[in-house]
A and B are shown apart, each in its own frame.
Chain A
């Protein structure tokens, strides 16, 4: 990671995009906008545009991967070729393969997979535009898609990263902060069970700074978790209204 080239915090303590140190980027979530998938969700977190879909529980394919006592969870995190400044080859990179694994593990911690032995639950995450923290946005969207598919979850998994810019711990790094910052700490968390289901870090932090960054990321996950629940409720209110309308129409 490069040393800061431009200043990331101005004299008023505000960041490049005008945020305070502990402020999230604007988040927009939408649930169930794909027709064919069993569950789907779309999220905008800053300039991140991420779509997630879930198929299953369905027959495991190939059959030999099926497990006798639980569902197999499959996960693919993938970036669209046009999602970054220079075109990215559509072939999965080593980074994408690693992220697919840690995202699967982050979600798997919350899925009640023992209810569906011998089946497979498949999670697809497509990053349409990346703006720093796309794995977190991907997790946020994927847990909504899982809930939308009716997959039993212990809790909705929320994720957010913390960073260190110009020597200060800050929340939810954008692209430039991610590239020029001194550390990146993505965290996935479920509030009620106080469970960290994903944590990665690179950069340089003292133990004290790390603890501060972890607190900040967990605090943000709590907020995002509430937004996710609201987004799910919005969808079901819409479904209910639709049902009532059609009942009135037939009456």
Chain B
């Protein structure tokens, strides 16, 4: 059952400072309203994974590991591989994260990233089918939040995509019904690059990449995931406040534009040699 969250307390003065600054087009960390914090992407940190990426977005840190395994397809899609996205809000990342089954926040995070990857057809699942109905390739995308300083959705989506773009897997051969793994490593087929950009509304103003302190005064947020062609492939509103329809249209424009810039940064960090 979902219930109204208890937000960590934030001093009224601080709240006022954040809101007043934003009303004047400024932020507590000197950014403009549509600036992202510094974005740094490291790849290949975990050799035992098929691919991995650690994203630093300001002080937010999110790692994603990719594991590729053989398995059975879902009965309703016998000729497609399987994509599974999971997110862990690791207790060491924030005083508000606790061990135990995934919270609704973790589930939402994973599902929003999943929708972006799936709906943009970034992973061509039909190419991951080895033997229809029997053997397919399963791609596990495990998002690990290591330090929570705001904007987890965008940071997670970036790290998931960067990890996928740098993933290598064994190539498989099917010979008379037998699936055989070859030693040769090939890149995971990736056909699109979805980027999630979350637009947060603070006292009627649209802000990108809120840090944690800012998130505490965000009334609502809208995540817009756009693909390589600039089409929208996923969207999710969060928070208890509303958006007007004009605000949504404005947010979509901002998010598609920013998405292009972030896609370039991800490409730069994941160039395969």
Q: How large is the interface on A (under 10, 10 to 19, 20 to 34, 35 or more residues)?
A: 35 or more
Contact yes or no, A100 B230, CB < 8 A:
no
**A206 and B231 in contact (CB under 8 A), knowing A101-B108, A197-B242?**
yes
Contact yes or no, B115 A202, CB < 8 A:
yes
Contact yes or no, B235 A200, CB < 8 A:
yes
Question: Smallest CB–CB gap between A51 and chain B, Å?
Answer: 17
Q: Looking across the interface, which residue of chain A has its beta carbon closest to that of B7?
A: A67
Q: How large is the interface on B (under 10, 10 to 19, 20 to 34, 35 or more residues)?
A: 35 or more
**A203 and B119 in contact (CB under 8 A), knowing A109-B241, A196-B248?**
yes
Binary interface encoding of chain B residues 106-130 relative to chain A, with 1 for a CB under 8 A from any of its CBs, else 0: 0110110001001110000000000
Query: Please, which residues of chain B bring their CB within 8 A of the CB of A204?
Result: 119-120, 227, 231-233
Query: Please, which residues of chain A bring their CB within 8 A of the CB of B18?
Result: none
Question: Smallest CB–CB gap between A191 and chain B, Å?
Answer: 11
Residue B244 interfacial (CB < 8 Å)? yes
Cross-interface CB contact of B108 among A98, A122, A185, cutoff 8 Å: A98
Contact yes or no, A196 B243, CB < 8 A:
yes
Residues facing A in B100-156 (CB within 8 A) are 104, 107-108, 110-111, 115, 118-120
Residue A195 interfacial (CB < 8 Å)? yes
Residue B204 interfacial (CB < 8 Å)? no
Contact yes or no, B120 A104, CB < 8 A:
no
- Name the residue in A75, A103, A113, A201 with the highest tally of chain B Cβ atoms < 10 Å from its Cβ: A201
Contact yes or no, A210 B4, CB < 8 A:
no
Beyond A74-B4, A101-B2, A200-B236, 14 additional pairs, beta carbon < 8 A: A71-B4, A72-B3, A75-B3, A76-B1, A76-B2, A94-B111, A98-B104, A102-B108, A102-B238, A105-B238, A108-B4, A194-B244, A195-B243, A199-B236
Binding site for B on A (CB under 8 A): 1, 65, 67, 70-76, 94-95, 97-98, 100-105, 108-109, 113, 120, 122, 185, 190, 193-207, 210-211, 214-215, 218
